[in-house]
Each structure stands twice: as C-alpha cells, then as structure tokens.
Amino acid sequence: MDLSTRYLGLDLPHPFMPGASPLTDSIDAVLRLEDAGAAAIVLSSLFEEDVIRHGRESNRYLEHLLRIKQRTKLPVIASLNGTTAEGWLKYARLLERAGADALELNFYFIATDPWEDAVSIERRIIDIVAVIKESIAIPIAVKLSPFFTALPHLARQLDQIGADGLVLFNRFYEPDIDPEACDITLDLQLSTSTELILRLRWIAILYERFGGSLALSGGVHDGLDAIKAVMAGADGVQIVSALIESGPARLGLIRDGFVRWAEQHDYTSIRDMRGRVSHARAPHSEGFARGNYMRTLRLWQGGAS
C-alpha cells in the first residue's frame, strides 16, 4: 500500500510521527523514533517563559536541533510557544536558521481576562502568524485549541494569510484541586482514544475548506484510530501518549495496523482514504453538526423506554 503523504510541503513516506513532547528531548530518543519508522520528528516546544527564566534555554534548544539535523535525515519540525510578539518573531527566525524544516506555532493560551473579547484573542493569533509568515521561509503550522466560537472562520483567516497547516488540537493539562491543602494539584493524564472524537469532528469539518495541511494530534493509540484520522481528512497524524506508554515501537505497530485494515478493505493508497468521511464527502455529513446530537438523544430515549 502506498502510504506516502505530503505534510507542510514535506514529502513523507507515511503520515505517522511523534507530536511535540519530551519524547524528542534526547538524541538517543530521536534515533529510537527514527528506527521505529517515524516519518518526521516534531520537537518539544520552546517556551518563551523558559528562555526568560533560564537565559540559556534557547541556546540548548537550538544546539539540540542542530545535533538532530546532523544525526538524522528525517524532517525536523520545531515547535514554538511564545508570549510576546517580539518573542514569537525572534525565536521563529532563530529556529529557521538552526535548520528546522518547518515550524509549529503552539498557541497554548487560556483566556482568563473578562475584559478581553474573542475577537481580540483571534486577532492576536492572526497578527503573530502573519508577521512570522512574512519573516521566515520555512512552512508554518498553527497548533490550536478547540475553544473557539467559530473555528472554521479562524481557519479561513489563517488560510488567507498563508498558514501552511493546522494542528488540531492542543491538549490542555487541567489542574485538579486538593481540598485538604486548599491548593491546586498538577498531574499528567495521558490521552485515551476517547479524545479522538473531538479531533475527528473538526478535521472532517475543515477538510477541503482549509487550503493547507491538516494534522490530527491527540487520541491516536492504534491502527484503527489512525484510519479514522485519515478518513476524516488528516495529512499528518501526531502520536504522543501511546508512545509514552508503550515506547517508540508502538509507532510501527500503529502503522502496521493501519496498513492491515486498509489492505483488507481494498485501499491501495492514503489518497484513496483521505477525507472519505469528511464533512464534504460523508453521506450523512449533518452528523458533524447538530444531526448526531439529535440522533444520539433519540437512540438513548429509545433505549430508556
């Protein structure tokens, strides 16, 4: 089966790659991912706060990127999470100079100011992406959260200013509350396949409505999850939690499971599968909007009676 895909202008042997995470924080780990068959390497995010706090953090990140480029032939996608307009631009330029093949702009932002409206938040994202797009030559992917009132409209604006791809979605690590200590607690909760549903919905809605690449991030744990991602319309499939739980070899198992299912169902290429169950092509596309809500309630009522 022909698994080749094109993501952010990069010709890849297949869509499966590690997402931004500590999985790529050492050369040995990167080489293990390469041996496991990763199509590309997505680095963990460079956080502007860390650079400000520790001073040399950006140098370490850039040196790590340079070493990876020297040791592997895989495309390397850097990830950047800025806090200021100046920081976004400065570090985007540095990452390009260090040899990144593409750049993922990781907009991890929680709106907590009651005086800042949705338009202002979206405008800030648009302005940052527009400036970076004008300032560097490598492809840019924008990693978003699902918490936008009109996500397709934001995607259209990003498309118009030349964003090369979208990554859906950023995964927030929510704090819990410790009642005894009257404080918050922080704990890493890895994803499960149940988180895939939200991603499938929005990839499917944006397929053929966004001109660039679409990557799904979050909830892919086995070959069938990956099949669903591509059928919704994904060009790239980013995997993190499954690799943290089971190690780099899990990536190869996911790819093998994908191929096995596809060949059993007479698919000969990724191109034949991509978008088959998207909003643009699904026989019952209303299910991506209100239809599934109404149908599910009716099924439940029928079962309850």
Tens digits of residue pLDDT in 247-293: 999 999 999 999 999 999 999 999 999 999 999 887 766 666 665 66
Could you give the angle at which helices 249-264 and 223-232 cross, rounded to 10 degrees? 60
Reply yes or no on whether the pLDDT at 186 is more than 90.
no
Q: How far is CA 95 from CA 7, 85, 108, in A?
A: 19, 16, 19
Structure confidence at residue 108 as a pLDDT band (50, 70, 90): confident
Q: Running DSSP on this structure, what letter comes out for residue 19?
A: P
Which domain covers residue 277, as residue numbers? 5-304
CB 235 within 8 A of CB 7: yes
Which CATH number covers residue 171? 3.20.20.70
pLDDT of residue 297: 57
Tens digits of residue pLDDT in 139-148: 999 999 999 9
Tens digits of residue pLDDT in 7-30: 999 999 999 999 999 999 999 999
pLDDT of residue 290: 64
Question: How many domains are contained in the chain?
Answer: 1
Reply yes or no on whether the pLDDT at 93 is more than 90.
yes
pLDDT of residue 291: 57
pLDDT of residue 129: 98
pLDDT: which is higher, 52 or 61: 61
Q: Running DSSP on this structure, what letter comes out for residue 149?
A: T
Structure confidence at residue 58 as a pLDDT band (50, 70, 90): confident
Q: Show the tokens assigned to 180.
A: 């005894």
Tens digits of residue pLDDT in 215-255: 999 999 999 999 999 999 999 999 999 999 999 999 999 99
DSSP E strand stretches across the chain: 5-7, 10-12, 16-18, 41-47, 76-81, 102-106, 140-144, 165-168, 176-178, 183-185, 213-217, 236-239
CB 236 within 8 A of CB 213: yes
Q: What is the mean pLDDT of residues 50-66?
A: 84
pLDDT: which is higher, 243 or 301: 243
The percent of residues above 70 in pLDDT, for the chain, comes to 91
Q: How far is CA 80 from CA 64, 66, 70, 230, 295, in A?
A: 14, 16, 21, 26, 41
Mean pLDDT score across all residues of the chain: 92
Reply yes or no on whether the pLDDT at 57 is more than 90.
no
Contacts of 40 (CB under 8 A, 6+ apart): 7, 10, 12, 17, 74, 75, 76, 77, 101, 236
Q: Show the tokens assigned to 126.
A: 């648009």
The percent of residues above 90 in pLDDT, for the chain, comes to 78
Dihedral, CA atoms, 273, 275, 276, 279, nearest 10 degrees? 170
pLDDT of residue 174: 76
Separation of alpha carbons 186 and 178, rounded Å: 10
Tens digits of residue pLDDT in 25-56: 999 999 999 999 999 999 999 999 888 777 66
Reply yes or no on whether the pLDDT at 305 is more than 50.
no
Enter the pTM of the model. Answer: 0.92
Separation of alpha carbons 122 and 124, rounded Å: 5
Q: Show the tokens assigned to 83.
A: 């806090």
How buried is 220 (Cβ within 10 angstroms: 0-12 exposed, 13-18 middle, 19+ buried)? buried
Contacts of 4 (CB under 8 A, 6+ apart): 11, 12, 13, 14, 269, 270
